[in-house]
Amino acid sequence: MTAASASAWVISSEVKTLNLYIARKLVAATLAAIGVLTFVLLSGNLIKVFDLLARGVSAPALGRFILYLLPVALNYTLPFSLLISAVLVFSRLSADNEIIAMRASGVSLWQVISPALLLGILLSVLAFWLQMDLGPRCRFRMDLLLETEGTRNPLVLLEPGRFIELPGNVIYVGRREGNRLYDLHVYGLSGSGKVVRDITAHEGMVTLDEAAETIRLELRDAVVVAADPNAPGDASRLQRVAGQSLEFPIEYGRQLNRNPIASKFRQMDAAAMLGLIHAYAERGIDTTPLRLELHRRLSLALSPFAFLLLGIPIAIRARRAEPAIGLVMAMALAAVFYAFLTLAQQFSGAGGHPELLVWLPNIVYQAGGLYALARLARR
């Protein structure tokens, strides 16, 4: 072995060691950031989960709900986690002059950041799968689970402070303690959806007959205001009866079981969306909302790599006392990224090509990051 080849072998071995060193730091920081950010994002739904548990939803169903929610949360936590880990790792390497030492040993900047680039590509591929396939299917199953639980146990639907629509009735519950209800309003609807009966009660009980698929309401001291069916024309004669105890059933089963689960755009995978776009185009229906949703997913799938290219130059330029400032700058620019997605959504019904707004920050961040890295590499 010649001296030149021996030197090259030593440098190659050192580069591999440095790459493994940087890769371990990046992977550890990214996994930690994913764990923390995903927990924070999921914790925002834990209050709803505990509330559903208190209202009778089974624990296994709640476990599946959280499991389905996880891929949806990862769609947003993956890019931020990679950005945070890149800023923290490379700002520390820069502050400790490790990058300067590596480059003084003949290692180029591109070789130094190659583990991060590889990790960014891998996470972008994972984000693509989450955005285009797994995430929408889990979102659909999550909504289907809640709908199924509502059909299996409609008492879950009686959430205090909300108007609940059941076949032929709209029910409002002010407060609920188990099967005991307080501050009740029951609005009876006609076939055309017009209110024909208004029942108010301070207190009531609710029971479920699963065999008959019926909810039974027992109202105490109810006040009933009903339209007079014999009133001529459009006359608004009302009949008022107070001080009654009422019991009446509400059949929920047949209608709820017959209602189809509508598949919204965000519940469709990429194949379903492309097929629907083709069908809409043949029928002359505006495809702008569908195209915008598809481009939004593609842009988010590439966002981990864009955030990485954005974070590395900011981290390397940060001095010893400025890693926190670099992190704040990177997070602010990431917030701008999502602001453009929201802005594009506002123009979804205006025609044109609002998807260009979705791609603008992705293109700018990747081009700007590559340009900044190229300038740092020439130093």
Among residues 340, 251, 247, the alpha carbon closest in space to that of 292 is found at: 340
Q: What is the DSSP letter of 266?
A: G
Residue 286's pLDDT band, with cuts at 50, 70 and 90, is confident
pLDDT in tens, 198-251: 788 888 887 766 666 677 778 877 777 776 555 555 445 556 666 667 777 766
How high is the pLDDT of residue 7?
Answer: 45
How high is the pLDDT of residue 51?
Answer: 62
How high is the pLDDT of residue 123?
Answer: 93
How high is the pLDDT of residue 271?
Answer: 83
Among residues 122, 102, 105, 170, the alpha carbon closest in space to that of 26 is found at: 122
How high is the pLDDT of residue 305?
Answer: 93
157 in a structural domain:
no
- Is there a contact between 49 and 113 (Cβ–Cβ < 8 Å)? no
Which tops the pLDDT comparison, 52 or 340? 340
The amino acid that residue 340 corresponds to is F
* 100-127 average pLDDT score: 88
156 in a structural domain:
no
**One domain for residues 143 and 283:** yes
Cross-strand bridge partners of residue 250: 215
For the cut 70, the answer to whether the pLDDT of residue 1 exceeds it is no
How high is the pLDDT of residue 255?
Answer: 47
- Is there a contact between 267 and 68 (Cβ–Cβ < 8 Å)? no
Distance from C-alpha of 292 to C-alpha of 359, rounded to nearest angstrom: 10
* SS3 assignment for 86-107: HHHHHHHHHHCCHHHHHHHCCC
Tell me the Cα Rg of the chain.
Answer: 29
The mean pLDDT of the chain is: 77
Residue whose tokens read 């890149």: 86
Which tops the pLDDT comparison, 258 or 19? 19
E runs forming strands in 228-351: 238-251
227 in a structural domain:
yes
**One domain for residues 208 and 175:** yes
- Is there a contact between 225 and 238 (Cβ–Cβ < 8 Å)? yes
**One domain for residues 72 and 19:** yes
242 in a structural domain:
yes
Among residues 28, 203, 12, the alpha carbon closest in space to that of 107 is found at: 12
**One domain for residues 172 and 142:** no
256 in a structural domain:
no
At which of 251, 268, 290 does a domain end?
251
Sheet holding 169-177, edge to edge: 163-166, 169-177, 180-189, 195-209, 214-227, 238-251
**One domain for residues 290 and 245:** no
At which of 251, 269, 298 does a domain end?
251
49 in a structural domain:
yes
What total number of domains does the chain contain?
A: 2
- CA torsion through residues 93, 97, 100, 101, sign: negative
- Is there a contact between 224 and 244 (Cβ–Cβ < 8 Å)? yes
pLDDT in tens, 127-165: 999 999 888 888 888 777 766 665 555 556 666 777 777
**One domain for residues 213 and 341:** no
**One domain for residues 311 and 219:** no
What does the longest C-alpha to C-alpha distance in the chain come to?
A: 110
Q: Which of the residue ranges 12-16, 68-72, 293-297, 328-332 would you say has the lowest mean pLDDT? A: 12-16
**One domain for residues 113 and 237:** no
**Containing structural domain, residue 298:** 3-151+278-378
Percent of the chain with pLDDT over 70: 73
**One domain for residues 241 and 343:** no
Reported residue count of the chain is 379
313 in a structural domain:
yes
